[in-house]
Structure 1
Amino acid sequence: MKTRLLIFFSAIFLFIDSKAQDNNLHQQSTIYEWPTDPLVKQKLDKWQDQKFGMIIHWGLYAVPGIMESWNLCSEDWISRDSTITYEDYKKWYWGLNTKFNPVNFNPEQWAKAGKDAGMKYLVFTTKHHDGFNMFDTKESDFSIAKGPFKDNPKADVAKYVFDAFRKQDFMIGAYFSKPDWHSQYYWWSKYATADRNNNYDIRKNPWRWNKFKQFTFNQISELMHNYGSVDILWLDGGWVRPLETVNAEVLSWGARIPEWSQDINMPKIVDMARKAQPGLLVVDRTVHGPYENYQTPEQRVPEKQLDRPWESCMTLGGAWGFAAGDQFKTTAKVVHTLIEVVAKGGSLLLGIGPKPDGTLPQNAIARLEDIGKWVNKNGKALYGTRITKDYHDGDTWFTQSKDAKTRYALTCIKEKTAVPEYVLWKSNIPVKGSKMTLLQTGKNVKWEKTEAGVKVWLPKGLPSDLPALAFSFTAQ
């Protein structure tokens, strides 16, 4: 049995990057409704200044190092060992709660790594679809605080994660899965679990669904009342939504749409949450309306610039959670993506997965440090900026300060390519006689307007491995 499981785990890890996993991605919303609450608008503006965040997936799936939650789901794109029955697999997966004992849990290490990378906000998975709680909830015994880790002083994991990141001046976001596949109020064991949706007809069992709605309300209330200041409630599982909100965009995902409404009463939840956390940003992913305060295209960057709040949530490696041997994106790849995202009006939320012992992989820490070496020198071209009309020209992207007085040009350097003698772009012409500063050095550089565009000469002696160059100037 153990041999079969090891073979299965290896297959799952290799499967993570395959096209089939696109079935669990939340696509970019196409409709946006601006908030009207002044405190929410103020918080949203502050969030739009941050630009770079960390999303941490950590749960039972870290123990064997497999894809988060989804192997529990009986859909065609999921691949499991055919010699293990589905029911036995679920028992095995949920039984990992007896083995999850992160004795080296070190949220301070995580927060420092994020700070070193230049990140400014956090989203932490308090509960993923598998229903395992990474906080000490009174609503369920299926929790990190009720297993082998229960006697540890930091057993209420979410509390210590949030505290550690607050000390590094991060905005704090709580990821919470609306579906809960472990709950008898969502996946009732009376019936088979055919797919990601709840597995009984809500219309025929209103009592059971009302119990789930109360369960969800109570858990979110715990997070909003017992864990200090929270800036973002990041709700995943967009198929749990009122039936009337299902549109052509949702149908294009390819997942089954039940005939009944999986409405959990978001107005009631958000009213409670914002009384506890005034100005709270609510991100009810892909459910258009007043509770999707910013949009979250997953594992991709929108093709064009957007004039609404959004973030691309993407993994540093191939997996959201920890997977042994995962291959991380290069420093240049992350920096180039960050630049493109910001120039298009968004933020980059980069996914990291801690190991089952509670520490980050050392190679992940090293990669974040390398990213930070560039970001922390050139952050003025990113943090607190807003979009500008002519935002892209070849390898160069453009942003501007919120007061529109300063323009920034960010030129990406192709990997394994030497820093050029000069860079050239056509739009965003500096004011005649104005100074242009290379942010990497903080010193002015020579530029001139030519028939080919703006030509900027670079000083000698720049690091040979720079992923990009950033310049500040006053534009015409």
Structure 2
Amino acid sequence: MACAAGIAAAQQSPTAPTAKTLSPQDADLAWQKATAKFAPQRQAILSRVAKHMNDGPFRNDWASLQHYSSPQWYDDAKFGIFIHWGVYSVPAFGSEWYSRNMYQQSMPDFAHHVATYGPQSKFGYKDFIPMFKAEHFDPQAWAKLFKDAGARYVVPVAEHHDGFAMYNSQLSEWTAVKMGPHRDVIGELEKAVRADGMRFGVSSHRAEHDWFFDGGRQFDSDVNDPRYAGLYGPAEAHMAKDDQNLADDWTYVSQAWLDDWLARTAELIDDYHPDLIYFDWWIGHPTFRNTLPKMLAYYYNEGAKRDGVVVNYKLGDFAEGAGTLDIERGQLTGIHPTHWQTDTSISNASWGYIKNDTYKSPKELIHLLVDVVSKNGNLQLNIGPRADGTIPEDAQKVLLAMGGWLKTNGDAIYGSKPWRTFGEGPTEVVGGTFQDTKTKPYTAEDFRFTTKNGALCAIELGWPEGGKAVIHSIKPDDHVRAVSLLANGQRVEWQQQPDGLHLSLPAQPVGDYAYVYRIELAQ
């Protein structure tokens, strides 16, 4: 509790500065001064990266990295769990961006913070850290839930934009080991997840931390206190017309920041050996272009000694093919030639836990999973635990319902491949990022297709009236031999006609959200 006491004592200091407009260079120097004590450890990691980044089939250049392909374990996994959990779970308001928005004077989070906790000069983001106790965090129980949900890999956020490391970093004093829970959250989860036979990854959002607290520079707040620069970072003025259009982003990024980002990422690689690393969008900023290949070569060559690793990136952030494309809260409209991923949250308003959030239905998420898998993709589904380490009961129910469906129908998902077409039917998704709320509900005329072990799986996204269905994509020359319901093995009556495969279905399986027909075709 010494760290909490130190924070409280610093709050009472009469010398804390007020609003301070710093030049980009001065803001960066203030951060460098606050983290100078970690320079030897940082340099040791950077030297190790420089020495070993080319030890393997990859080199630290984009041409070499474009020979990457996702490993078989990942292509077969199809379904993973994402976890946004951190200090931002304490206020439980707005979203996981509360750490930024509480300093943005035009945001509801700002007004809420002042009304609830007082002015940011007296109670800043750092003051939530002692309240983040994680007293009910049970990594073994979490792992069991994720396995029962049917997940094959688990990816907690190791560090969000807020700069608070959820792991035992030797490059910062602002970590979950030294403050708050006083536990290595990432290390404990790694052991529990792997003990249950799942793959383990980490997510790093540190790149954005360079500017995340810039709003606190504009008024009297604790962001301006140099004693907290190790947490708040440079807090550079974020100069972007559109956060997603990095070509218009003029935010200052120093070489010192890039070096620190590389060292912290390599630290995660060396200490936790993740099977997957997920990066948020800002690593696509042009200043990262020369640093990224070093990290990728180092990580891919380390993974080549095992059975391969994955790096998820947003469109345009990497040279095409140098990693695994992630479409945030969105989908693709057709089969992608290489494996890809979508990530979305089980809740509707936020990635992190907030009070009174609502949750997507199991049916909606199973249909999303089926559509994505039919197009050669994976679904990484996010949950947001409460600050005390409990997972909301509504989220648990959704996960277990998905797991129930996968237990009986998973043979159409895990280890499957796309067919010659992803599907048929009247319902089309809107392609691109942040489009997941624009998709209309599927109907019984909507089918998605996968293949496995020589069989075709046709997944109907609704039960047809009268128990009669037609799959138009199956032509007369496809030579069907047998059809059965995958969930219970029941035989399905069928006829091939010029307009497709006609099915006369048995009784509707109880409690299913999508219906899988295993179709044997003549070789």
TM-score (norm 1): 0.77
Give the distance between the partners of 1:87 and 1:200, measured in 2 at CA.
27
Instruction: Indicate which of 171, 176, 185 corresponds to 2:199.
Output: 171
Which of 488, 492, 496 lines up with 1:445 in the alignment?
Answer: 492
Mind listing any 5+ residue stretches in structure 2 that lack a counterpart? 1-61, 214-228, 426-445
Which letter maps to 1:99?
M
Tell me the equivalent position of 1:317: 347
Equivalent residues in 2 for 1:328-339, closer than 5 Å: 328-339=359-370
CA contact (8 A) 1:285 1:292 kept: no
Q: 8 Å contact 1:408–1:472 — kept in the other structure?
A: yes
Is 1:145 aligned to residue 177 of structure 2?
yes
The alignment status of 1:409 with 2:458, answered yes or no, reads yes
- On the 8 A contact 1:429/1:475 being kept in 2, the answer is no
C-alpha separation between the residues in 2 aligned to 1:383 and 1:472?
Answer: 14
Determine the structure 2 residue equivalent to 1:12: none
1:266 is aligned to 292
Distance 2:279 2:312 in 1: 6
The aligned amino acid for 1:55 is F
CA contact (8 A) 2:158 2:203 kept: yes
**Structure 1 residue identity aligned to 2:457:** Y
Cross-structure match for 1:230: 274
Contact 2:66 2:319 in 1 (8 A): no
1:221-264 CA deviation, whole Å, 9 max, x = no partner? Answer: 2211112x42111111x234452xxxxxxxxxxxxxxxxx3556
Question: Is the alpha carbon distance of 1:116 and 1:201 closer, same or farther for their aligned partners in structure 2, counting shifts above 3 Å?
Answer: closer
**Structure 2 counterpart of 1:302, one-letter code:** L
What SS does the corresponding residue of 1:336 show, helix, strand or coil? helix
Percent identity, please.
Answer: 24
1:186–1:99: structure 2 CA closer, same or farther, 3 Å change rule? closer
Aligned AA for 1:235?
A: F
Tell me the SS of whatever aligns to 1:277: helix
1:358-414 CA distance string (max 9 Å, x none)? 12112211111111111111111111112122322221111112x6x221100011x
**How far does residue 461 in structure 1 lie from its aligned partner after superposition?**
6.0
Q: Using structure 2 for the length normalisation, give the TM-score.
A: 0.70
Q: CA offsets, 1:409-455, max 9 Å, x none?
A: 00011xxx787523221112485461112111023222112354212
Q: Secondary structure at the match of 1:434?
A: strand
Which of the residues 437, 447, 450 maps onto 1:396? 447
Which AA in structure 2 matches 1:46? W
Q: Which residue does 2:18 correspond to in 1?
A: none
2: distance between equivalents of 1:34 and 1:305?
25
Indicate which of 311, 325, 330 corresponds to 1:282.
311
Distance 2:106 2:421 in 1: 41
Pairing 1:60-459 to 2, within 5 Å after superposition:
60-66=87-93, 67-69=95-97, 72=100, 78-82=107-111, 88=120, 92-150=124-182, 155-177=183-205, 178-180=207-209, 181=212, 187-188=233-234, 201-202=252-253, 209-227=254-272, 229-236=273-280, 238-241=281-284, 243=286, 261-263=287-289, 265-278=291-304, 279-286=308-315, 287-289=317-319, 292-318=322-348, 319-394=350-425, 395-401=446-452, 405-413=454-462, 420-429=466-475, 431-432=478-479, 434-459=481-506
Corresponding residue SS for 2:516: strand
Distance 1:366 1:83, change over 3 A: closer
Q: Secondary structure at the match of 1:435?
A: strand
Deviations 1:299-352 (A, max 9, x none): 122233322221110111112111222211111111111111111221111111
Specify the SS of the correspondent of 1:443.
coil
| CA spacing shift, 1:84–1:348, aligned 2, 3 Å | closer
Q: Distance in 1 between matches of 2:394 and 2:376?
A: 30
Give, as a single letter, the amino acid of the residue that structure 2 aligns with 1:358.
Answer: G
Provide closer, same or farther for how the CA distance between residues 393 and 192 of structure 1 changes in structure 2, counting only shifts above 3 A.
closer
1:170-189: CA deviation from partner (whole Å, max 9, x where unpaired): 22211011222476699426
Worse-superposed segment, 88-97 or 292-301: 88-97
Structure ID, larger Rg: 2
2:434 corresponds to: none
Give 3-state SS (helix, strand or coil) of 1:456's partner: strand
Report the count of equivalent residues.
406
Instruction: Give the whole-Å Cα distance in 2 for the aligned partners of 1:96 and 1:352.
Output: 21
The residue number in structure 1 matching 2:217 is none
RMSD, matched Cα: 3.1
